[in-house]
């Protein structure tokens, strides 16, 4: 990739104009590999406010942004290439225990090869990949297609299951599904088989430089004794699950992955009640890897009414209640937050358009990264792209600029602005300029005096990068960057 490079010594404030540059070369692959290595978090740092940031080898605060893909085994290299070209650095890859191990004790070679190819594309195009052990309503025994937990690991005690075509989530409360979850958590052989599957898959995938780590269990659920329509009953069941069966599962799965992989990050999820403003009751977890732990917290950020087809009502307090519910746990246990799923099914509606904007702003305040649901083309149905491949109407804020790596603390972002306090190391800070927000480049204004700016704008509509260095700034020096589309 041939890049146009410009270095400007700035006075009080200065402006650099990004412009297109012709050409591309085989160097793009090497550049992508460098990007992957540079963006891999090697540690964390906790600020005075209790927020724990992901950091790279230089100690820079990292922000990761991207999309979910491959729940339906549909992802192509073109998808990964396009995600990277648009300036995103992370994909959350849904994997299915049922597809990968359709028969007990044998990983399916074709499915494993397909997953290896997908991670290979991530290696090639310079994005990180978070492997999501996905399930919806347990697995295929309950109408989940071929996704989730295999039939051979499903024990429903012969209890009934009656699906509701108008409410898929109601399937979790069916007697057969409740029994299946109880057996998965409690039966020694199922627990051992699940842990063995995680170990074997982690052994297979461990060689990929793009592998950020694992989201250990998607949207965990469990037995509910009583009326699930009673909020108090549901909250009590969620707390009991998180403190007991689910916590035990996470301990087993952390140990299972760590048996073969000491590099990966491991993320735990709370139950979906966090979306209703119910704080998690998960305990803290130990990481048996040598050195500092690599554990994180991966809640989802969904409004139930919007999920059920309503346009968002800003007066319902959803964003505020959610933010209050999820911040205490990671602060207590010093965990970075990565929101694994978020986004309305139809962002074109006025309330949902506002919801996207407010969710992006909220996550900038409490999360070190996010992956939006879902990378696909279509009209509605969660697709982040319209049929022509442009950002879906209303999803624009998700395609805006952001600070990928910052040599500083107290990082705050706003519409086309980034502010932080310099850490005094003199390392570069890197801002991403997605082409959807800056199709003709941008003017970049930086404060304070003495900043050095290098801008890169590849050809072909790829995202640009602004690198800012403050070689003489003392720790705590305020830095402000304003980005204006041309």
pLDDT, tens digit, for every residue of 20-73? 333 344 556 777 777 787 789 999 999 999 999 999 999 999 999 999 999 999
* 34 and 98 inside one domain: no
Q: Would you state the pLDDT for residue 247?
A: 98
Q: Would you state the pLDDT for residue 458?
A: 82
In a domain, residue 102? The reply is yes
* 183 and 250 inside one domain: yes
Q: Would you state the pLDDT for residue 37?
A: 78
Rounded to an integer, what distance in angstroms lies between the CA atom of residue 210 and that of residue 56?
14
* 302 and 267 inside one domain: yes
Among 399, 421, 456, where does a domain finish?
399
Centre a 10 Å sphere on the Cβ of residue 132 and count the other Cβ atoms it contains. 27
**Can you tell me the mean pLDDT for 276-304?**
97
Mean pLDDT of the chain: 92
pLDDT digits (tens, 9 = 90+) for 444-461: 999 998 899 998 888 788
In a domain, residue 48? The reply is no
Q: Would you state the pLDDT for residue 20?
A: 33
pLDDT band at 14 (very low <50, low <70, confident <90, very high): very low
Q: Which of 58, 25, 52, 21 is nearest to 40 (CA)?
A: 58
CATH number of domain containing 69 = 3.20.20.80
- SS3 letters across 385-432: ECCCCCECCCCHHHHCCEEEEECEEEEEEECCEEEEEECCCCCCEEEE
pLDDT digits (tens, 9 = 90+) for 328-339: 999 999 999 999
Q: Would you state the pLDDT for residue 262?
A: 98
* 381 and 426 inside one domain: no
Torsion 138-143-144-150 (CA) sign? positive
Length of the chain: 486
* 71 and 195 inside one domain: yes
pLDDT band at 17 (very low <50, low <70, confident <90, very high): very low
In a domain, residue 50? The reply is no
Helix-, strand-, coil-residue percentages of the chain, each rounded to 5: 35, 25, 45
Best-predicted range by mean pLDDT among 6-10, 48-52, 78-82, 435-439? Answer: 78-82
In a domain, residue 49? The reply is no
In a domain, residue 53? The reply is no
Q: Is the peptide bond before 448 cis (omega within 30 degrees of 0)?
A: yes
Supply the range of the domain harboring residue 412.
1-43+404-486
Helices (H) and strands (E) in the chain, counts: 11, 23
- pLDDT at residue 16 tops 50: no
- pLDDT at residue 475 tops 80: yes
Among 366, 399, 432, where does a domain finish?
399
- Which secondary-structure segment (H or E) carries 466? strand 464-469
* 247 and 372 inside one domain: yes
* 21 and 110 inside one domain: no
* 445 and 466 inside one domain: yes
pLDDT digits (tens, 9 = 90+) for 367-422: 999 999 999 999 989 999 999 999 999 999 999 999 999 999 999 998 899 999 99
- pLDDT at residue 3 tops 70: no
Q: Would you state the pLDDT for residue 284?
A: 98
Q: Would you state the pLDDT for residue 21?
A: 32
The model carries a pTM of 0.94
**Can you tell me the mean pLDDT for 135-144?**
93
In a domain, residue 222? The reply is yes
pLDDT band at 441 (very low <50, low <70, confident <90, very high): confident
The angle that helices 188-205 and 245-258 make with each other, rounded to 10 degrees, is 40
Q: Would you state the pLDDT for residue 211?
A: 98
* 347 and 477 inside one domain: no
For the chain, the domain total comes to: 2
Among 399, 424, 445, where does a domain finish?
399
């Amino acid at each position: 990739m041939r890049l146009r490079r410009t270095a400007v010594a700035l006075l009080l404030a200065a402006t650099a104009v990004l412009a297109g540059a012709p050409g591309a070369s085989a160097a793009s692959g090497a550049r992508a590999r460098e990007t992957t290595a540079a963006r891999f978090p090697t540690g964390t740092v906790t600020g005075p406010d209790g927020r724990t940031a992901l950091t790279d080898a230089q100690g820079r605060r990292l922000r990761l942004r991207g999309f979910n893909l491959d729940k339906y085994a549909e992802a192509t290299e073109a998808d990964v290439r396009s995600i990277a070209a648009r300036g995103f650095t992370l994909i959350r890859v849904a994997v299915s225990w049922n597809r990968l191990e359709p028969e007990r004790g044998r990983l399916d070679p074709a499915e494993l090869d397909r997953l290896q190819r997908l991670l290979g594309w991530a290696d090639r195009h310079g994005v990180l990949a978070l492997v999501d052990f996905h399930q919806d309503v347990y697995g295929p025994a309950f109408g989940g297609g071929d996704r989730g937990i295999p039939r051979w690991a499903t024990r429903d005690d012969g209890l009934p299951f009656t699906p509701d075509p108008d409410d898929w989530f109601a399937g979790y409360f069916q007697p057969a599904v409740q029994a299946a979850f109880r057996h998965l958590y409690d039966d020694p052989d199922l627990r051992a088989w699940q842990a063995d599957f995680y170990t074997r898959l982690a052994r297979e995938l461990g060689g990929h430089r793009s592998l950020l780590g694992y989201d250990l269990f998607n949207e965990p659920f469990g037995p509910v004794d009583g009326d699930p329509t009673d909020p108090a009953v549901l909250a009590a069941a969620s707390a009991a699950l998180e403190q007991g069966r689910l916590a035990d599962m996470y301990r087993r799965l952390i140990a299972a992955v760590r048996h073969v992989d000491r590099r990966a990050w491991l993320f735990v999820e709370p139950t979906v009640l966090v979306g209703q403003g119910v704080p998690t009751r998960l305990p803290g977890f130990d990481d048996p890897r040598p050195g500092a732990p690599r554990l994180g917290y991966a809640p989802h950020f969904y409004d139930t009414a919007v999920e059920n087809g309503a346009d968002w009502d800003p007066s319902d307090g959803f964003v505020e209640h959610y933010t209050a519910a999820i911040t205490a746990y990671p602060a207590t246990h010093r965990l970075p937050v990565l929101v694994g799923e978020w986004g309305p099914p139809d962002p074109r509606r006025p309330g949902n358009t506002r919801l996207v904007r407010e969710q992006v702003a909220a996550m900038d305040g409490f999360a070190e990264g996010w992956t939006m649901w879902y990378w696909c083309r279509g009209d509605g149905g969660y697709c982040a792209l319209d049929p022509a491949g442009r950002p879906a109407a209303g999803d624009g804020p998700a395609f805006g600029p952001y600070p990928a790596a910052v040599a500083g603390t107290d990082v705050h972002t706003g519409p086309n602005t980034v502010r932080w306090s310099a850490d005094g190391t003199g390392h570069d800070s890197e801002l991403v300029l997605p082409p959807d927000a800056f199709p003709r480049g941008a003017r970049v204004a930086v404060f304070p005096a003495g900043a050095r700016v290098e801008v890169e704008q590849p050809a072909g509509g790829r995202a640009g990068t602004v690198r800012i260095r403050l070689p003489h700034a003392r720790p705590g020096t305020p830095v402000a960057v304003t980005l204006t589309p041309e």
